[in-house]
Structure 1
Amino acid sequence: MADSRDDARHLETLDRDLARFSNLEMATAYVSRPMVGPGVSLIFVILAGLAAAIFFGQANNTLIVVAAACLGAYMALNIGANDVANNMGPAVGANALSMGGAIAIAVVFESAGALIAGGDVVSTIAKGIIAPESMETAQTFIWAMMAALLSAALWVNLATWVGAPVSTTHSVVGGVMGAGIASAGLAAVSWSTMSKIAASWVISPVLGGVIAAGFLWLIKSRIIYQDDKIAAARKWVPLLVGIMAGAFATYLALKGLKRIIKIDLGTALMIGLLIGGAVWLVMIPAIRKQSQGLENRNKSLKILFGIPLVVSAALLSFAHGANDVANAVGPLAAIVQAAQSGNFADAISIPFWVMIIGAFGISFGLFLFGPKLIRMVGSQITKLNPMRAYCVALSAAITVIVASWLGLPVSSTHIAVGGVFGVGFFREWDAERRLRKARLEVPNRTVYGPEERRRRKLVRRSHFMTIIAAWVITVPAAAIISGLIFFGLRAFLS
């Protein structure tokens, strides 16, 4: 009997010890979880440096290229963490995609866009921001590009931490401008180009917001507010999907396939018109079949927009990978060319191993750090459903086409976030309009006071002000950081 009691006590002691170990393991896992992302990122940056050492060989400037490759990898990680959220956020916010599904699709299509269609020749450094010939030596030029890369990466990293989607293109532009001014003075900067970029701070989000709001008005007036919503959807959804297909075909022809084939705007529009028409005809019977048995209510309409929204997110990711990978590896490619040949004034082509660093860096950054900004864009600015998110995605493609036609510089980040704002502000305006109309029809209807009406705003003003402020200070902030880094590099290495 005593032995059995001793055994029971031993078991109780063992259970307590195991419980303590279990609690210790859980606490260790909880504490170490935030370190997984930085740890994997550091390994990737080190691997990028090793790859540069292997591919660049035993030249005199190998150490410089290795350091630049590490900075390019760091910048690519930040692009994945911040910029890619603009493409996937609306689809996740609308519950058309899970977070895991969005990240998987974005990783595949961002990488495909970067490796298949990215890396076209960079004819002027960072879109002609500075004149390379204004630099005294190749060494000065290399320091300037390294300062630009590091400053842009630091700024995007800070913006991601704060929760503000910013333009990585503008970050690189600011970094190059700051290093150019620090190394060669104000005369080195193309101020006409900078004025166009400043104009894009307004043009991009306003154009994206207006187009997104316009399509949402079309969907509401022609489908949602109709008595027979399903019949209206059978008529209009195929046309809307056809417009989407045509817009993305034009968008990809213009922006996503520059490395494979050069296509002018007229040809791209013709390609888009043919593909859009074909998709419209195919979608008529497909939507008719999909809509059979659906109830006549708004929830049923979400089903019809789900697949087009997922496809649009994938296509946006492909085009983004094709275009914005150069933000990470364009300055790196310039450093490689200057280190190899000493020539830094001619056009710069991006080596394939450099493209690999950019593509994998964007994918790792998205996987490790992307969910924060995806949630911000998808659900924290305003509430999205598949119809609203579809309008945002369609707006992004059409705005780039319109801007190309008008010759206006635009930012994909500003367009996408501007589209989200446009949808939210349109819903506020539409809600007020319907409330006024109901008040006229029913004079005794309950009217909310000013405080309650402010609380019911559909766009969160705090996020709106944070994002706008981050957009405005991106170029000057990156420029100041870059100038300081350049002075530090020159003082340390001279």
Structure 2
Amino acid sequence: MPDRIPVLTKRTLDKDLDKFTHVEDAAKFVSRKLVGPGLGLIFLGLAMLFAGVYVFERPSAVLIIAATALAAYMAMNIGANDVTNNVGAAVGARAITMTQALVIAAIFEVLGATIAGGEVVRTISSSIVDAVHVPGGLLAWIMMAALMAAALWINLATWLNAPVSTTHAIVGAVIGAGIAAVGPEPVNWRVMLEITSSWVTSPLIGGAIAGSLLFFIKSFIIYQDDKIAAARRWVPVLIAMMAGGFTAYMVLQLAPSGRFSSPTILALGLLAGLVAWLAAKPIVARQSRDLENRNSSLRILFKFPLIGSAALLSFAHGANDVSNAVGPLSAIVRSSTALATGTAPPLWVMLIGAFGISVGLLLFGPRLIRLVGDQITKLNPMRAYCVALSTAFTVIVASWLGLPVSTTHIAVGSVFGVGFFREWYTRNSKRRVKFMRSKAETWAIDEPEDPNVHERRRRYLVRRSHFMTIVAAWIITVPASAALAAMVYLVMFALFV
């Protein structure tokens, strides 16, 4: 009997230790979910300290620091919800890993926001609500309410895995808070009409460009007898298009106004495209050695241009959508520090927006990347390149014009454009039929009509359910953010003003 006591004690001790081990595992699992929010709170604190260095001695320092925290929170939500459109196609095509996509997007988002984001920031900060018609002191509270409402709405959408437009959210929030403060008179409805029209046209333009690029690739590369030789000829041309467009955009953004004429800018873009073409030719030729004459081999050759287009899209997104976070903050800083209307926003304001977007992307971005990359239509590197390049060009032109378009609209519109074009091309392309007949002696060109409507819908290359869900999310964002901003403003006014 005494010999059994130590054995029983040991078994009891082992069971107790196992219980502690399970508790530790559960604690680690729960705490892992808190790492992201914890790091986000640390970033908000650092952003407030960073703003305090520049405005601490001014009378409105507390208001500006509080607005900075809201702008940083808004920027992180943009990174979590909106930046996923930049790299979703590349990840969905398995051209780059999730980690590579996050690093590329974070770097180029910062560059785009700090180098070329000033023009659209001025649109958000001063063109939607006319500060001249707003009583002194109210503009800052309007922008504060807009920031809080838009950030909360985007945060909720991200939690629900819904890719909404952050541009819709902030523009609707500025309008809602402005109307709640002083009525509809200060709202610049002409500018709003321009912005709204760009929301409608930009996804159509993005989809048309993406479909046209895919038509070009199918006609001149995929459905050629020697695919590899065709790719050696045309992939450097596509890279040159990307480099030329990006160079022209950089000249427009960075050069003083009126420094270069349109023909000069066009010439610089063509020169950059020529240099990129000359550099890409030997690289593509070296990559194409010993590749089989198959579509799968083309994925290797399109990997490099796809990565480049994703980087370009991230730069363009940073230039355009940083305004959604720091545009209201810039208006608050301007009204509180007597900066002239139309002047460039301070660099520290742009840095907070740029790094906030990157922090949100790195901490919370992977949640929505696969929706755009995997679940709308099947993407390979060629299709993903068309999506990324068309989205980048559309956003670049919009940023040049100072229009805060929705990259969500353009990117998703480009994905749908590729998918719908594939459906049309599969059914109607004579070139595809001729090519397939040349490769197979027996091939069913005219399939009998399937009487089962549901079966025909199942065979569609684009998932209609995602199309309707995304469009519904786009429609509800503006009124929801406007109503929420109006309520937030009324609460702020009652408590602090």
Q: 1:212-242: per-residue Cα shift (whole Å, max 9, x none)? A: 0111111112211222211221222122222
**What amino acid does structure 2 have at the position aligned with 1:204?**
S
**What amino acid does structure 1 have at the position aligned with 2:108?**
F
Q: Report the secondary structure of 2:96's partner residue.
A: coil
Cα 1:142–1:127 change in 2 (3 A) is: closer
Q: Report the secondary structure of 2:273's partner residue.
A: helix
1:285 is aligned to 2:282: yes
Tell me which residue corresponds to 1:217: 215
Question: 2: CA distance between counterparts of 1:320 and 1:391?
Answer: 17
Residue 476 (structure 1) aligned to one of 463, 476, 479: 479
Aligned pairs (5 A) from 1:40-439: 40-119=39-118, 122-123=121-122, 125-126=124-125, 128-137=127-136, 139-255=137-253, 257=254, 265-341=262-338, 346-400=341-395, 410-433=405-428
Question: 2: CA distance between counterparts of 1:319 and 1:175?
Answer: 23
Q: 1:392-434: per-residue Cα shift (whole Å, max 9, x none)? A: 1111233346668999774333222111111111122223336
1:377 Cα deviation after fit:
1.4
Cα 1:446–1:122 change in 2 (3 A) is: closer
Cα 1:473–1:31 change in 2 (3 A) is: same
Question: 2: CA distance between counterparts of 1:263 and 1:78?
Answer: 37
1:467 Cα deviation after fit:
1.5
**What amino acid does structure 2 have at the position aligned with 1:242?**
A
- When structure 1 is superposed on structure 2, of 72-81 and 119-128 the one drifting more is 119-128
Q: 1:59-80: per-residue Cα shift (whole Å, max 9, x none)? A: 3322212211111111111111
Cα 1:405–1:229 change in 2 (3 A) is: same
Question: 1: CA distance between counterparts of 2:76 and 2:255?
Answer: 24
Aligned pairs (5 A) from 1:20-39: 20-39=19-38
| Counterpart contact for 1:265–1:405, Cα < 8 Å | no
Aligned length: 489
1:6 Cα deviation after fit:
6.6
Residue 493 (structure 1) aligned to one of 485, 491, 496: 496
1:463 is aligned to 2:466: yes
Cα 1:14–1:204 change in 2 (3 A) is: same
Gaps of 5+ in 2: none
1:54 Cα deviation after fit:
3.7
- When structure 1 is superposed on structure 2, of 351-360 and 146-155 the one drifting more is 351-360
Q: 1:123-165: per-residue Cα shift (whole Å, max 9, x none)? A: 555361111010111x111111111111221222223223333
Question: 1: CA distance between counterparts of 2:45 and 2:364?
Answer: 18
Cα 1:443–1:488 change in 2 (3 A) is: closer
| Counterpart contact for 2:313–2:389, Cα < 8 Å | no
| Counterpart contact for 1:166–1:413, Cα < 8 Å | yes
Cα 1:91–1:225 change in 2 (3 A) is: same
Cα 1:408–1:361 change in 2 (3 A) is: closer
- When structure 1 is superposed on structure 2, of 118-127 and 280-289 the one drifting more is 118-127
- When structure 1 is superposed on structure 2, of 332-341 and 142-151 the one drifting more is 332-341
Q: 1:329-373: per-residue Cα shift (whole Å, max 9, x none)? A: 1211221232234x6x72354223322321221111001111112
**What amino acid does structure 2 have at the position aligned with 1:329?**
V
CA-atom RMSD, angstroms? 3.0
**What amino acid does structure 2 have at the position aligned with 1:89?**
G
Question: 1: CA distance between counterparts of 2:322 and 2:257?
Answer: 16
| Counterpart contact for 1:121–1:347, Cα < 8 Å | no
Question: 2: CA distance between counterparts of 1:458 and 1:235?
Answer: 29
Gaps of 5+ in 1: none
